[in-house]
């Protein structure tokens, strides 16, 4: 059963992790889990009426600081996020997707993004991200749930 935009966004915002899909300039897909927060557009730019999803390059171990997701966003800023709930009882299944346009943040918006991440994740309160912060202006929310 299709979710309304409001329900898809609400379920998405409550999730602790999302999968971020990017595509390289050459067309190769790339998928990684990310922690994230959703910022109310009125705090950033009213023209972003569907919300701004933010994530940061943080202190979690990585094989390199030259992250493919950042290279892909520079080459093609169209991204997609997915959160989902799986259960062996398939009547409980659901997923929510956000399509967006990504860009590296700086200045006041970067600070707002870090504050939102710190509010959502205690780990960031203790150790705020110091790396690149990305903001993704949502162009559409969609979702589905099992018809129970």
Element (H, E) at 103: strand 94-104
Tokens 């110091």 found at: 130
Give me the pLDDT at residue 47, please.
Answer: 67
Q: For residue 43, give the CATH number of its domain.
A: 2.30.110.10
> Per-residue pLDDT for 66 more than 90?
no
- Judged against a pLDDT cut of 90, whether residue 16 lies above it is answered with yes
Domain count, the chain: 1
CA distance linking residue 62 with residue 46, whole number of Å = 35
Chain centroid offset of residue 89 CA: 27
Domain that holds residue 94: 5-145
By C-alpha distance, which of 136, 76, 57 is closest to 102?
136
More confident residue, 148 or 117: 117
Neighbour order of strands in the sheet with 52-56: 29-34, 18-23, 78-85, 94-104, 133-145, 52-56, 37-39
Q: How confident is the model at residue 89 (pLDDT cuts 50, 70, 90)?
A: very high
The per-residue pLDDT for 65 is 58
Neighbours of 137 (CB within 10 A): 19
């Amino acid at each position: 059963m299709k979710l309304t935009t409001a329900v898809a966004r609400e379920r998405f915002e409550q999730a602790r992790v999302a999968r971020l899909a990017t595509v390289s300039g050459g067309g190769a897909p790339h998928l990684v889990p990310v922690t994230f927060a959703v910022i109310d557009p009125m705090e950033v730019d009213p023209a972003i009426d569907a919300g701004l999803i933010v994530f940061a390059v943080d202190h979690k171990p990585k094989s390199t600081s030259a992250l493919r997701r950042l290279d892909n966003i520079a080459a093609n800023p169209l991204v997609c996020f997915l959160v989902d709930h799986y259960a062996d009882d398939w009547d409980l299944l659901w997923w929510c997707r956000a399509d967006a346009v990504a860009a590296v943040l700086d200045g006041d918006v970067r600070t707002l993004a870090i504050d939102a991440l710190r509010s959502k994740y205690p780990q960031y309160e203790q150790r705020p991200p110091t790396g690149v912060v990305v903001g993704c202006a949502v162009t559409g929310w969609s979702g589905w749930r099992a018809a129970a």
